[in-house]
Amino acid sequence: MLRFAAPLLLLAAIPAHAQSAQTKTDAQAEIWTKEQSIYRERGKGNLGPYIDNVATDYLAWPPFSATPTGVGDLRRTQPKMAIENHEELKMEFVAFAMNGNAAVIYYKTHRTRLPNGTPADERFEVTHSWVRQDGSWKVYGGMARAQPTRP
């Protein structure tokens, strides 16, 4: 019996921060990959990966909206995006925080072409809050703002 209990005792002796470090690293990689996929497909006019990855009661506050919007707004925007599919932007990871089944990812975007093809030079700062729902990370909320001029 002791032979089988020893590995369990060793696992219990590992500090909690060491146990969660890999979990946080894996979650960050999974969420960042999803974020990149959402924007890559958005640039092609496809909001499907975004819509497919929203949690129950999702709300986000895009910089062009006076109030937060929900998944219904994403669905209404999808047909227009499918026609105007020329957006180009680059993403830059900034930070990641996680606590249990909740995580927040911070990143910057630099848009050089609007969906309608017009050249642009727009920089945004973005946060997305994610939750584990039904065993998968889902976007629960977010906010984007035009990057302010800083000294």
Residue 17 pLDDT exceeds 50: no
Determine the pLDDT at residue 22. 58
Determine the pLDDT at residue 108. 98
Q: Which of 90-94, 98-102, 104-108, 116-120 has the lowest mean pLDDT?
A: 116-120
Determine the pLDDT at residue 86. 81
Pick the CATH number of 19-146 from 3.10.450.50, 3.30.2350.10, 3.50.50.60, 3.20.20.210: 3.10.450.50
Residue 5 pLDDT exceeds 80: no
Contact indicator for 88, 45 with CB cutoff of 8 Å: no
Residue 133 pLDDT exceeds 90: yes
Residues 133, 102: Cα–Cα separation, whole Å? 10
Prediction pTM value: 0.82
Q: Would you say how long the chain is, in residues?
A: 151
Residue 19 pLDDT exceeds 90: no
Residue 15 pLDDT exceeds 80: no
Tokens 């727009």 belong to 122
Q: What percent of the chain has pLDDT over 70?
A: 84
Q: What is the pLDDT of residues 60-85, one digit of tens each?
A: 999 989 999 999 999 998 888 878 76
Residue 115 pLDDT exceeds 60: yes
Edge-to-edge strand ranges of the sheet holding 102-113: 54-61, 136-146, 119-133, 102-113, 88-99
Q: Where do the structural domains in the chain lie, given as residue ranges?
A: 19-146
Name every residue whose Cβ is closer than 8 Å to that of residue 31 and which is 6 or more positions away in sequence: 96, 103, 105, 128, 130, 137
